[in-house]
Amino acid sequence: MKIKNSIKSLRNRHRDCRVVRRRGRLYVINKTNPRFKARQG
């Protein structure tokens, strides 16, 4: 999982990327391609 300052750029990498808030953190999750997981905060 990547930890990034800006998550907006990561969301655009793949069309299935979703930005989700969990426990005060921002996550990018992707069901079809789990490589694109990322966290912010």
- The Cα–Cα gap between 4 and 29 comes to 14
Number of structural domains in the chain: 1
Compute φ and ψ for 27, nearest 5 degrees: -120, 145
Residue-level length of the chain: 41
Range of the domain at 7: 2-40
Q: Is the pTM above the cut of 0.85? A: no
**What pLDDT shows up at residue 22?**
94
- The Cα–Cα gap between 15 and 24 comes to 24
Q: What is the mean pLDDT of residues 21-37?
A: 92
Instruction: Render pLDDT for 3-22 as a digit per residue (tens, 0 to 9).
Output: 988 888 888 889 999 999 99
Average pLDDT, the chain: 90
- The Cα–Cα gap between 36 and 19 comes to 11
